Structure 1
Amino acid sequence: MHLDHAHPGPAAVGADARCPDGTRRALRIGLGGPVGSGKTATVAALCRALRTELSLAVVTNDIYTREDAEFLLRQAVLPPERITAVETGACPHTAIRDDISANLEAVEELEDTVGPLDLILVESGGDNLTATFSKGLVDAQIFVIDVAGGDDIPRKGGPGVTTADLLVVNKTDLAPYVGADLARMAFDARAQRGELPVVFQSLRGEPGAAEVADWVRRRAAAWTA
């Protein structure tokens, strides 16, 4: 289910869109959201959908482990050299918003070793509704919530819900089992986000992450046009 809002303009292409050697750098898209919302599963689905069209890589963030990166490696969604992990050592939002140096180093190393790349997905570790990415790290942000977390999450707002370039409401297949009202979630998301787009998805069947993949394709096309 997709809320039919007008989409915001494509990612701007400015001086920071180029590497020091003058070549075009990859588009960077961040994925954040609460623990268990399905960020890593969404990243895996995007890799499967886009890997034959775009040259892409992934940076994951976890506090003390490489769990998310290892999940992606087990799923074989990309060659191992295209997946790297950052161990933040603190709340994940610190490494994606406050001190982004470790993530920038990981991104630049991927571009150096497996580039040129079209797209880098930067996944935050599980955080709360305040998690946002620094604009110095990513060019666009996807925020993932899930219906099992409560159908009042869109109503509660928070920077992730209200300002992300794309809001994904995941695990819609669980709505009947947890008593979630999807229509209410859609109404509340519209009230919080205005014209910013929202996608409702379930990765348990078709179309899966197809709408999110289409959104990423449009951003990537605008970035390289």
Structure 2
Amino acid sequence: MGSAAFRIGIGGPVGTGKTALIEALVPRLVDLGLSVIVVTNDINTREDERHVKATLAGVLEPSRIVGVETGACPHQAVREDPSMNLAALEELEAGYPDADIAFIESGGDNLQLTFSRDLVDLSVFVIDVAGGDKIPRKRGAGLIQADLLIINKTDLAPYVGADLGVMDRDARLVRAGRPTLFADCRHGIGIAAIIGALEGARAAFHEEMSASARGAHSHARVGADDHGRDHTHA
């Protein structure tokens, strides 16, 4: 992907706190001096766009936040045919070429939701304790394959009888070593750890891109040298 911005997909079922996560992360990222842009997805409205703009008023310019009305299943717009999201990102990145991070929030879906790698560089999947501590055992491609799993609304665990230790254990079992973090986005708990994970992934991504560029440059130079030697032999 040629984008300078590190693209982070935020997926998960309806009501797990995807929007709340973005609204908790952005002010802290801005405080770190990072330039952020946001794309939200809804099927029939732009409600999440309006909510994010209202919540982040004074933190992020409204023009940095764009809503996509998909008109179809959420996974269709972020996996099978991400063209609308790609177009929204291209427009935002053209307006803000200094963007460090781009969030793409999927519409609420089920545990199967995954993102196209043509759309995002890192995928985050959000579940919450209100569904019960059995959720990680239900697996689902989105929950299993996401680069980072966030278990949100930890403050509700005592009220719904969810055992966070069980959720942590089961998530680790099904995710084959991929990281899982707990959070209470509404009260800012766990956000620092999430930012640390995202920034670590962003640094690793840019290092990989730099290494690839250095390799391509090296190959180009070798090719030029080879051509020179061939010409000499001729």
| TM-score using structure 2 length | 0.84
Instruction: Name the structure 2 match of 1:7.
Output: none
Give the equivalent residue in structure 2 for 1:26.
5
Say which one has the larger Rg: 2
Aligned-pair Cα RMSD in Å: 1.2
Equivalent position to 2:76, from 94, 110, 119: 94
Cα pair 1:73 1:83 within 8 Å, conserved: yes
Tell which deviates more after alignment, 31-40 or 179-188: 179-188
Q: Which amino acid aligns with 1:31?
A: I
Higher fraction of helix: 2
Picking from 35, 41, 60, the partner of 2:14 is 35
Matched residue, 1:162: 144
Please give the alpha-carbon distance, in whole angstroms, between the structure 1 residues aligned to 2:177 and 2:44: 37
* Secondary structure in 1 matching 2:202: helix
Q: Does 1:57 align with 2:37?
A: yes
Whether the 8 Å CA contact 1:173–1:204 is kept in 2: the answer is no
Give the TM-score of the pair, scaled to structure 1.
0.87
- Residue 199 of structure 1 corresponds to 181
Task: Give 1:67's aligned residue.
Answer: 47
Shift of 1:104: 0.3
Structure 1, unaligned runs of 5 or more: 1-15, 20-24
- Please report how far the alpha carbon of residue 218 of structure 1 lies from its aligned counterpart in structure 2 after TM superposition: 1.3
- Per-residue Cα deviation, 1:99-130 (whole angstroms, up to 9, x for no partner): 11000000000011122211100000100001
Following superposition, the deviation at residue 221 of structure 1 comes to 2.3
For 1:126 and 1:194, the matched residues in 2 are separated by: 25
What is the identity, as a one-letter code, of the residue corresponding to 2:173? A
Q: Which residue of 2 aligns with 1:47?
A: 26
- Rounded Cα–Cα distance in structure 2 between residues aligned with 1:131 and 1:204: 23
Distance 1:100 1:109 in 2: 14
Higher relative contact order (CA 8 A, sep 6+): 1
Amino acid aligned to 2:203: A
State the distance in 2 between where 1:150 and 1:45 align.
23
Return the letter of the residue paired with 2:8. Answer: I
Q: Does 1:114 align with 2:93?
A: no
Deviation at 1:92, TM superposition (A): 0.7
Matches of 1:204 and 1:99, distance apart in 2: 32
SS in 2 for 1:151: coil
Deviation for aligned residue 1:204: 3.8
Question: Contact 2:20/2:186 (CA < 8 Å) preserved in 1?
Answer: no
Q: Do the aligned residues in 1 keep the contact of 2:23 with 2:52 (CA within 8 Å)? A: yes
- In 1, are the aligned partners of 2:15 and 2:108 still within 8 Å (CA)? yes
Q: 1:84 aligns with which of 58, 61, 66?
A: 66
Q: Is the 8 A contact 1:81 1:114 kept in 2?
A: no
Range moving further from structure 2, 48-57 or 203-212: 203-212
Q: Report if aligned partners of 1:118, 1:220 keep a CA contact under 8 Å in 2.
A: no
Residue 209 of structure 1: CA displacement?
Answer: 1.4
Give, in whole Å, the separation in 2 of the partners of 1:210 and 1:68.
Answer: 23
- Give me the whole-angstrom Cα distance separating, in 1, the residues matched to 2:198 and 2:190: 14
Tell me how far 1:223 sits from its aligned partner: 3.3
**Aligned-residue offset at 1:206:** 4.8
Please list every run of 5 or more consecutive structure 2 residues that lacks an aligned counterpart in the other structure: 208-234
